[in-house]
Structure 1
Amino acid sequence: MFTGIITAVGHITSAQAKGDGLQLAVEVPEGYLEDVALGDSIAIQGACMTATQFKGNTFTLDISRESLNKTVGLDKVGPVNLEKAMRLNDRLGGHLVSGHVDGVGKVAYFSQVANDAYGSWLLRIEAPKELAPFLAYKGSIVVNGVSLTVNKTEDSSNACIVDINLIPHTLQSTTLGKLQQGDAVNLEIDLIARYVARMLNIN
């Protein structure tokens, strides 16, 4: 389990073919891996992966074709959001996150909010239509591994439009500040909403 609070920004330094998937090497900040053991889970861009090897400040992981088909940003060199699996005595600063990507959305709009003294930015995402029942005003959503609050939802014929407010700290501490209109993003719906919907036979 995770919380959606990013603990470091790493960098995929290589993505080499392995079977029908890839083996990734991820470089992390100094000391980040000191409390991580082989087989531990680390969320990368919101997708839970298993650390399979360590070398200095780099760890490797194997990612299957299924995971590659269901996510974005894990098939090439570049910066990635990282979060170690939570411990039972950790603060739950975000919300309960499983690290299982539910769908890929698209950035429809991303710009600084006009006349906002705090320097906030508006991130508007087109989420897959099938995720609409799980997205609600002031509910939670995970975008590329980051726990965020939904400020507005609007259903269209083929998507659910979600507005999110980002503060400068979030932009500086994650990869979200690098987003541009048209970019694809990994999305995870709220874990509790998933089970409530199941019990009500919504999905």
Structure 2
Amino acid sequence: MFTGIVTAIGTVVEAQSKGPSLKRLAIACPYEAAGIEIGASIACAGVCLTVTALREREDGEPGCTFQVEAAAETLSKTMVGAWAPGTRVNLERSLKMGDELGGHLVTGHVDGVGTILKIDQIAPDPDEPWGATARFHIRAPQGLPRFIAAKGSICLDGTSLTVNTVEDDVFTVLLIPHSFSVTTWGERKAGDPVHVEVDLMARYAARLAEARPGG
């Protein structure tokens, strides 16, 4: 379980496909190896992946390189299959009991891939690469719009965000300069894919409604 509060940015340094249903990745990150156990879960761009090996970074930077493997279900629902050396991803360690819940409860089970349609800068600041905030217009994956509500929570590329508006299958979110400085969102442009995980409560509420007599 995660919160959608990104704590580091990792860089893919190795990517090997083991046939069409398995991909092995090595990701360099600032996390200390001593704090990670084999079998631990790390959210990589919102995708919960299991650490299978650890080693020192080869670039001399502080931190470690951890290895993960993505199987068929993950590859079919996410962009992990397209990750290559140099790909930068948002990272979050799994939640511990007693940790501050700064975002919302996130499982790391991505529901699908959305598309950034447009990015609006708001109140531009010449000293910032982005404006004071930036509005992202995102098309939700098929079947997910019913789980997305204005003022509700959504996890995009591992980042907990508040939905501002919803119109048909398009919703908007706002990001502030701090978010751009600690995540990969500053690299995003119109047309880019984005991992989408809908709010856990919305998912179960919809399932309960469907299970009621008469739908």
**With structure 2 as the length reference, what TM-score do the two structures score?**
0.87
- Structure 1 residue runs of 4+, over 6 Å off? none
1:149 to 2:198 alignment: no
Instruction: Map 1:69-108 onto structure 2 (within 5 A).
Output: 69-73=76-80, 75-77=83-85, 78-108=87-117
Structure 2 residue aligned with 1:65: 72
Q: CA deviation at 1:73?
A: 4.5
Q: Deviations over 1:38-59 (max 9, x none)?
A: 0000000101000000001101
Structure 2 residue aligned with 1:28: 29
Q: Which letter maps to 1:122?
A: R
1:161 to 2:174 alignment: no
Q: CA deviation at 1:138?
A: 0.5
Q: Deviations over 1:49-72 (max 9, x none)?
A: 000000011010111132112101
What RMSD, in angstroms, separates the aligned Cα atoms of the two structures? Answer: 1.8
Structure 1 residue aligned with 2:206: 197
Distance 2:142 2:23 in 1: 29
1:127 to 2:140 alignment: yes
Q: CA deviation at 1:129?
A: 3.7
**With structure 1 as the length reference, what TM-score do the two structures score?**
0.92
Distance 2:156 2:84 in 1: 19
1:182 to 2:183 alignment: no
Q: Deviations over 1:6-27 (max 9, x none)?
A: 0100001110122431110000
Structure 2 residue aligned with 1:7: 7
Residue of 139, 143, 150 corresponding to 1:137: 150
Q: Which runs of 5+ in 2 are unaligned?
A: 57-63
Distance 1:60 1:53 in 2: 5
Task: Say which one has the larger Rg.
Answer: 2
| Secondary structure of residue in 1 paired with 2:186 | helix
Percent identical among aligned pairs is 43
Distance 1:115 1:177 in 2: 14
Distance change (3 Å), C-alpha of 1:32 and 1:169: farther
Structure 1 residue aligned with 2:182: 173
Structure 2 residue aligned with 1:46: 46
Distance 1:65 1:98 in 2: 18
Q: Which letter maps to 2:25?
A: L
Q: Which runs of 5+ in 1 are unaligned?
A: none
| Secondary structure of residue in 2 paired with 1:180 | coil
Distance 2:46 2:90 in 1: 7
| Secondary structure of residue in 1 paired with 2:49 | strand
Return 1-10 or 18-27, whichever deviates more: 18-27
Q: CA deviation at 1:128?
A: 1.9
Q: Is this contact kept in 1: 2:33–2:55, CA < 8 A?
A: no
Count of aligned residue pairs for this structure pair: 198
